[in-house]
A and B are shown apart, each in its own frame.
Chain A
Amino acid sequence: MSSSSPTDDHLKQEQQAVALAEVEEAEQLSAQQPHSAEKALGTDISIARDRNRKASLITFLWGLPGFVWLGFFLVAPVVFIILVSFWTRTDSGFIKEWTLSNYGDIFHSHTYWMSMWKSFLTSIISVAACLVFGFPVAYFLVMKIENQRNQIALFIFALAPFWTSFLIRAVAWTYPVAGREGAINQALGGLGIISDPISALGFSELSVRVALIQLYILFMVTPLFFMLSQVDRSSLEAARDLGGNGFRVFKEVILPQTMPGVVIGSIFIFVLTMGEYGSVRVIGGGNVQSVGTLVQNRISAIQYPQGAASAVLLIAALIVGVFAITRFANLREEL
């Protein structure tokens, strides 16, 4: 999920749109030409028709790998997860006996809904914090650095922490940084601010939330960077000339133009943090639960139907969340 960048998605959408348009065009053309005309005009038209068919076939072929890919790696697994969530568990897997009890159990589980709520809260905090901390970074890079080479260099510099593996960065947020003898406690102790290490810094809800912001902020900075680069500079000057103060310029000129970036970044971070389980487990040291870790615990115990049902509800929550976020901008139009 994390590998597809917004530009990829954009490209894909564009390709699909082009493909659709061409298919429609070809269909229209063939519909417009009745058989009699075809006969009268001889072979020219049938050649043209062939050419159109060929064109649409080629487009179709171009799109095919993408559709197959999505079908195989996205649609099929999701369908399968949904099916399994309605099947019956056995000690060594599941059998195809339909049941609603997997969902029944979840609906009565205080733990599940509590985790859903906490995951949601963590996601909202992450999205908001990434926006608050990420926007100035992107703004600075685009608006304040004039030299394009410096701009790119600084952007790459900002990316540097992300060259390390995700897992290593997650582990860093446990005992090395936030542990009892970790960097923060040592610094505070060294400065004489605390006498006993603060335990709550590490292996806690707090450390998970702080770490997720650091782990995912790039997903906000990058789309903002590209959207801000496309902001019409003259519109900024015009706004200022017309007496807009900094805040009004930001609110009425910059923000509307960068909204698609905000929305894309928010979707990424919302989806990724809400479904997060690996780093929650590592950073939280098992103390912190998310819907993801609940699913993981089920899968680990080879209780697939229960895990699948938990996952299906999570997917549903994600779809609702993404739908809500997209209300803030019409991506198709504005990109």
Chain B
Amino acid sequence: MSKNEKRSGLSRRQLLKRGAVGGAAIAGAGSLSGSALAAGSRSGKQEAITLRVLSLGVEWPNPAVQKQAEKDLGVKFEITAVGSVEQTQKAVTAPESFDIFGGYHQQTMQIFPTGNLQPIEISKIKAWKDIYPIFKQGKLNPASTACSYGAGDAPFRVLYVDSTGKYKPSVASTAANLKAKNKIVGWIDEKTGKPAGGLPEPKYTVGPPAHFNMDSMGYNSEVIQLAADKVSWGQLLNPKWKGRVSILNDPTIGMIDAGNAAAALGLMKFKDIGNMSKAEIDTLMKIMSKYKKQGQFRAFWSTFNESVNLMASKEVVIESMWSPAVALLTTQGVPVKFAAPPEGFRGWASATGISSKVTDPAKLQACYDYINWTHGGFLGAQIMRQGYYVGNGAKLNDWIASPAGKAAGFSSAEYDYWYNGKPAATDLPGITGQVGDVKKGSVRDGGSFTKRACRYTAWNSFMVENEFQTTRWNDFLSA
């Protein structure tokens, strides 16, 4: 979703606004330059450190999070919440304007080779051992053959940093990454599921995993009367829904969804759907143009709100969607479900990075402290209510069940619903924070985390042929 998300970022940010949270985050945006000046003079140990966060906003879902973080860490936060395009632009052009970066893995593929993010020492990340193996080895259970890695910028291909030359960059690496001194590398040999060359885990990362999820399609379950796990990506091109279909107006996501649909229907095959060749992009866009000319698509949405409105106003009956959009519509009583396609999900994950301009030891330590804080439980529980998982989610229930978790108003019943795929024991608070967002007895579409995090077709990716991708996407939209 990197560039993918100029809109997509916007969209996730809309969530904040809805949660009445955005105000603080967005207000922070304006004060960016001022604080940059101030930061220099503040680096002394006496005064409180201010950490400037450049974020998509997901990990700042409400003012309580910032308050808690400031209380626990004794630092101030200035949060700039932006869409992912703007974020990438800022990270690429002005590394001095932020200290902490909270964005997607496929964005780091574009940003890290510029040298604007610093390699992060894994030994300083306290929860590293609890981070799901899906990030390190590619699967929840590395030995599993039933589960798939998923093509493209899957986190395990783009998580580590190496300057020794011992580890290999992913085959989908950009020229910039191949040239860089600190290269983004993977650790695991995908054929064996074991460390390539028997090497130990690399010592550095682009950024420890934060929150993540699996994306698919939302569909009107009154019109499309199928169980969530029976809805194939191919439904996007089903002539029965002609004129009632939408996908994201963003080549880096939309093209993967389109590719999933075309592949599901056997219209074409991909060598690597997460890093399509020019010929594959070309063929896919020809297929899609044919469908577009026949009137298959109602619209191509750009923002979270657009996707919500299209479904709520019944303009569409199936569309690429994010799980919070479905959750939000469900709270409004719209009969929409979130598909768990048999072919697998399109994955995405975010990482927390540190600007290379953070050199002051006290400030750098504060950055590490913040990252460790994000794994502490409070944030993970907040993010859970949006339907997103966190990198060390297996340990989350420990915190929720602790006195601190209970004091903050969380219950293990919520964890059971969101992570374990169990029916809600009572009415639960969800995306809006209101009890009743999740009705008693309802079950999360797609089931438990273990089940959902097993099948991936691809992950959001920064493709090597991204320029050609945009050209042909423009052609498609004009068809």
Task: List chain A positions with a Cβ less than 8 A from chain B.
Answer: 89-93, 105, 109-111, 114-115, 174-176, 179-182, 199, 202-203, 281, 285-287, 289, 293-294, 297-303, 306
Q: 6 tightest CB-CB pairs across the interface, nearest first?
A: A286-B300, A285-B299, A175-B313, A286-B249, A289-B478, A92-B92
Task: Give the residues from 464 to 479 in chain B that come closer than 8 angstroms, CB to CB, to chain A.
Answer: 466-467, 469-471, 473-475, 477-478
Q: Does B243 count as interface, using CB distance less than 8 angstroms?
A: yes
Q: B residues within 8 A CB of A301?
A: 3, 251-252, 466-467, 469-470
Could you say which residues of chain B place their CB within 8 Å of the CB of A90? 176
A154 → chain B, closest Cβ, in Å? 35
| Complex interface: chain A residues within 8 A of B93 (CB) | 93
In the complex, the answer to whether B110 meets A92 with C-beta atoms within 8 Å is yes
Find the B residue at minimum CB distance from A302.
B3
| Interface, chain B (partner A; CB < 8 A) | 3, 6-7, 85, 88-89, 92-93, 110-111, 113-114, 174-176, 243, 246, 249-252, 295, 297-302, 306, 309-310, 313-315, 462, 466-467, 469-471, 473-475, 477-478
How many Å lie between the Cα of A281 and that of B297 in the bound state? 15
Q: Which residue of chain B lies nearest to A202 when distances are taken between CB atoms in the complex?
A: B315
Check A287/B85 contact, CB under 8 A, given A179-B313, A180-B314, A181-B314: no
| Cα–Cα, bound, A306→B466 (Å) | 12
Shortest Cβ distance from residue A308 to the other chain B in the assembled complex, whole angstroms:
14
Contact across chains for B302 and A92 when beta carbons are under 8 A apart: no
Given A91-B174, A109-B471, A302 and B478 touching (CB < 8 A)? no
From A199, A294, A297, residue with most partner B Cβ within 10 Å: A297
Shortest distance from the beta carbon of B257 to any chain A beta carbon, whole Å:
14
Q: Would you call B309 and A175 a contact (CB within 8 A)? A: yes
CA distance A308 to B252 in the complex (A): 21
Which residues of the partner chain A approach B243 to less than 8 Å between Cβ atoms?
Answer: 199
Say how far A114's CB is from chain B's closest CB, in angstroms.
Answer: 6
Picked from B88, B111, B113, B299, the residue with its CB within 8 Å of the CB of A287 is B299
Q: How far is the CA of A175 from the CA of B301 in the complex (A)?
A: 13
Question: Complex formed: what's the CA distance from A114 to B477 in Å?
Answer: 12
User: Given the interface contacts A203-B299, A286-B301, A289-B478, does A300 sit within 8 Å of B467 by beta carbon?
Assistant: no
Partner of A285 from the list B176, B300, B467 (CB cut-off 8 Å) is B300
Q: Is the CB of A111 within 8 A of B89?
A: no
A300 smallest CB distance to B (angstroms): 5
Closest to A110 in B: B475
The answer to whether B474 and A91 have CB atoms under 8 Å apart is no
- Give bound CA distance, A174 to B302, whole Å: 14
Task: Say whether A303 contacts B467, CB under 8 Å.
Answer: yes
A289 touches B477 (CB 8 A): yes
Most chain A C-beta atoms within 10 Å of own C-beta, residue among B93, B175, B466:
B466
Q: Check if A179 sits within 8 Å of B467, measured CB to CB.
A: no
| A206 smallest CB distance to B (angstroms) | 14
- Kindly report which residue of chain B lies nearest to residue A289, judged by CB atoms: B478
Question: Which residues of B have CB within 8 Å of A297?
Answer: 251, 470, 473-474, 477
Contacting pair A302 B315 (CB below 8 A): no
Partner of A115, one of B92, B250, B297, B478: B478
A300 and B113 form a contact (CB under 8 A):
no
Are A93 and B92 neighbours in the complex by a CB distance under 8 Å? yes
Closest to A281 in B: B302
A128 to chain B, nearest CB (A): 24
Interface contact A287-B89, CB-CB below 8 Å: no
Residues of B within 8 A of A299 (CB): 85
Known contacts A286-B301, A287-B299, A287-B477, A303 near B113 by CB under 8 Å: no
**Bound-state Cα–Cα, A105 to B471, Å:** 9
CB of B92 within 8 A of CB of A203, answer no
How far is it, in angstroms, between the C-alpha of A289 and the C-alpha of B466 when the chains are bound?
A: 20
Q: Nearest CB to that of B84 among chain A residues?
A: A300
**B110 and A286 contact, CB distance less than 8 A:** no
A306 to B295, CA, bound (A): 29
Closest to B299 in A: A285
Q: Which of A114, A203, A302 contacts B85 (CB 8 A)?
A: A302
Please, which residue of chain B has its CB at the minimum distance from the CB of A114? B478
Given contacts A182-B313, A203-B298, 7 further A-B contacts (CB under 8 A): A91-B466, A105-B471, A111-B474, A202-B315, A281-B249, A286-B299, A301-B466
A109-B471, A285-B298, A302-B92 known; A92 and B478 CB under 8 Å? no
Q: Shortest distance in angstroms between B165's beta carbon and chain A's nearest beta carbon?
A: 21
With A175-B309, A179-B313, A285-B298 as known contacts, state yes or no: A91 contacts B110, CB within 8 Å.
Answer: yes
Q: What would 15 A/B residue contacts be, using CB atoms closer than 8 Å? A: A92-B110, A93-B93, A175-B310, A180-B314, A181-B314, A199-B243, A202-B315, A285-B299, A286-B301, A289-B478, A300-B3, A302-B3, A302-B89, A302-B110, A303-B467
